[in-house]
Structure 1
């Protein structure tokens, strides 16, 4: 997409734009009306400028991936490339829409002597969700995390047909490359320590330009294998994990600790020399632990 001048530079590690991009956004939006219907209501209106989107302090070398507005090579895309381009375009348009407003609803229903409870959401104002339309509704309907409830009145009654379903819990699904990349990006959610979780919020494990190569290295070393879309661990990979007794070495908390120290260095509250010495001591200790097992 970048080589076809459809999107901006792709090897970035931020989701923010710089202030100098803002004046260009109306022109980009105007060129996307045939690509995304969500762009049309924005044309001719003042685009909101939010700190959640435009923040120079959150951008280093390159800003987040956005469409360029140049659609001349759009017809040359294959199906997969077109889907990725649509994701970029829809997200770019959605950030200029208002927030989605919803009511958190808890419904208690009495059936005879039993009380049933369900908690969900009732959408009040679609906001940015309008950009995605039916696609977002279909995704919500397949998710068990967010239940959208219709409106209820206190004391309302109605007929129901009771049924009992017997089900078995299922094992977690294998990672695909896409889901593993997502897990690497959001690895902080697996960390309990709030300080370390915050430090990993913007980085996760690896960088956008290196995460795919990390997975490829695991495949080349026979630690994991590809089975259709899934990534399956091989005996060599399971044996390696079994031989490493240091829980920290296998945990995203180690990355969190390093990211936390790097942020302290950025703020000037911790010296680079102290960090390197601490890192050296930590590595020596870990290597000795591995060698002794």
Structure 2
């Protein structure tokens, strides 16, 4: 269906020339994945993650969605799920890094050791 780039590599980087096509790719994702509409809307196309790096692209770049706007209606359930995983990973490139604070408390009570861990989402 040509909705994703051809999987020829395990490379995790993208060439800078693809960065200029980000708006069309995100629009296609929004058409194919209505459940990602809020994620598409919240994407900041001015951000550029470290995935965009010509020097780290091998013979082939990472697998990403294409700008193609048709064909998603013919996908099987498994194909839709795979497309969704690829689309989500692509959209993450246009969000700030996940920030969190980890906390750990260790207590000795009556000869027993008790440990509590917490992760607070900051951004």
**TM class by shorter-chain length?**
0.7 to 0.9
- State the Cα deviation string for residues 72-108 of structure 1 (Å, max 9, x = none): 1001111111111111101000121111111110123
Question: What corresponds to 1:40 in structure 2?
Answer: 41
- When normalised by structure 1's length, the TM-score is 0.38
Alignment partners' CA distance in 1, 2:108 and 2:67? 55
Between the aligned partners of 1:33 and 1:20, the Cα distance in structure 2 is 22
- State how far apart, in whole Å, the 1-side matches of 2:22 and 2:45 are: 10
1:107 aligned partner: 105
Map of 1:123 onto structure 2: 121
Give the Cα separation in 1 of the matches to 2:76 and 2:110: 58
1:55 to partner: Cα distance: 1.0
The higher relative CO (CA closer than 8 Å, separation ≥ 6) is in: 2
Alpha-carbon distance in structure 2 between the residues aligned to 1:57 and 1:113: 56
Q: CA RMSD in A?
A: 1.9
Greater fraction helix: 1
Where do residues 19-30 of structure 1 align in structure 2 (5 Å cutoff)?
Answer: 19-30=16-27
Where do residues 122-201 of structure 1 align in structure 2 (5 Å cutoff)? 122-125=120-123
Aligned to 2:55, which of 54, 57, 61? 57
Q: Any conservation in 2 of the 1:26–1:47 contact (CA below 8 Å)? A: no
Residue number in structure 2 paired with 1:76: 74
Aligned 8 A contact 1:15 1:53 in 2: yes
**Would the alpha carbon gap of residues 93 and 56 (structure 1) be closer, same or farther in structure 2, given more than 3 Å must change?**
same
Decide which structure has the larger Cα Rg and report it: 1
Q: In the alignment, is the contact (CA less than 8 A) between 1:108 and 1:117 conserved in 2?
A: yes
Q: Cα offset for 1:109?
A: 4.5
TM-score between the two structures when normalised by the length of structure 2: 0.84
- Which one has a larger percent strand, Structure 1 or Structure 2? 2
Conservation of the 8 A alpha-carbon contact between 2:48 and 2:93: no
Q: CA deviation at 1:113?
A: 5.7
Equivalent pair of 1:16/1:53 in contact (CA under 8 Å): yes
Aligned partners of 1:8 and 1:47: how far apart in 2? 23
Q: Which runs of 5+ in 2 are unaligned?
A: none
